[in-house]
Amino acid sequence: MKNEELLLEDYLNGKDLLNTLTHEEIGDDHLYTGVKTPMKPDAFEQTDEEKKKQIAGLFAQIMDVMGLDLTDDSLKGTPVRVAKMYIDEIFSGLDPANKPKVALFDNKYQYNQMLVEKDITFYSNCEHHFVPIIGKAHVAYISSGKVIGLSKLNRIVQYYAKRPQVQERLTNQIGLELQSILDTEDVAVIIDAKHLCVSSRGIKDDTSATVTSFYGGKFNTPEKIQELYNYINN
Ligand SMILES: [Zn+2]
């Protein structure tokens, strides 16, 4: 898709900058390298069951290295629980097979103003530290003749949240996906989130939040952005 390529190019142009930084600096500054989640070409050659088995074994090793007693009744099931949670729940959005199936309907009511679905609570995980990002997403679009079921907007947010993420990428992935599905540039996404890697470790700032936005097409005017914020803050 054209828009996605443009964004990718922007980020690729910044790559030299990233290369001058250490991994530690990239992680702590939460920089990211592109709009697409970086995946290996063979990412889906193993079945989910094979992946869970392998992750459980590896996680048991991490616990063992840290000195935890894996024969303890409370701990012995943890590696399997973590593996299932990674594949079936919190990182299930890595697998395109789990992408929500979306049906579009004709805009029979001829509603041609912005539609805003606000306060969509999501849980994601920071790809630099694998600790939670907790936030709210607000998504909006102006119909180009098709409309989408409201719950699908929610499901698209959840699908992209269930990946190791950085907030900027999450925002852009949701925005680009909605533009593609709804066949319109007129899409906006605002995400307001707390990063546990900022509040519970590192700088240990408990009060800050991060706000990111994606404004496409008709949303790129101060009036539309103001209108959108009025809906959100209502
Ligand atoms: Zn982090």
Copy the structure tokens of residue 204: 């240990």
Answer yes or no: 197 catalytic: yes
Taking the centre of ligand 1 as the mean of its atom positions, its distance from the CA of residue 112, in whole angstroms, is 40
List C-alpha distances in Å: 212 to 19, 82, 113, 167, 221: 24, 30, 23, 7, 17
Taking the centre of ligand 1 as the mean of its atom positions, its distance from the CA of residue 151, in whole angstroms, is 29
Contacts made by residues 27-32, CB under 8 angstroms, sequence distance 24+:
27/128, 27/129, 28/128, 28/202, 30/126, 30/128, 30/166, 30/167, 30/195, 30/197, 31/166, 32/127, 32/166, 32/168, 32/169
Answer yes or no: 129 catalytic: yes
**Sign of the dihedral defined by the CA atoms of residues 21, 22, 28, 34, in that order:** positive
124 and 218, same domain (yes or no): yes
Task: Tell me the one-letter amino acid at 193.
Answer: A
Per the structure, how many domains does the chain have? 2
DSSP state of 212: E
Domain stops at, among 98, 118, 145 = 98
Kindly report the CATH number assigned to the domain that includes residue 8: 1.10.286.10
55 and 110, same domain (yes or no): no
Answer yes or no: 195 catalytic: yes
Give the pLDDT band (50/70/90) at residue 110.
Answer: confident
141 and 201, same domain (yes or no): yes
Answer yes or no: 23 catalytic: no
Indicate the pTM of the whole model: 0.86
What is the phi-psi region of residue 12: left when phi exceeds 0, alpha when psi lies from -120 to 50, beta otherwise? alpha
Q: pLDDT tens, 136-176?
A: 999 999 999 989 988 999 999 999 999 999 999 999 999 99
Q: CB–CB of 169/32 below 8 Å?
A: yes
- What pLDDT score does 71 carry? 97
Residue, of 30 and 193, whose pLDDT is higher: 193
Q: pLDDT tens, 176-194?
A: 999 999 999 999 999 999 9
Options 129, 138, 165, 179, the catalytic residue: 129
79 and 6, same domain (yes or no): yes
12 and 65, same domain (yes or no): yes
d(CA 81, CA 63): 13
Domain stops at, among 76, 98, 120 = 98
Kindly report the CATH number assigned to the domain that includes residue 168: 3.30.1130.10
79 and 178, same domain (yes or no): no
Give residue 117's domain range.
104-233
Residue, of 108 and 167, whose pLDDT is higher: 167
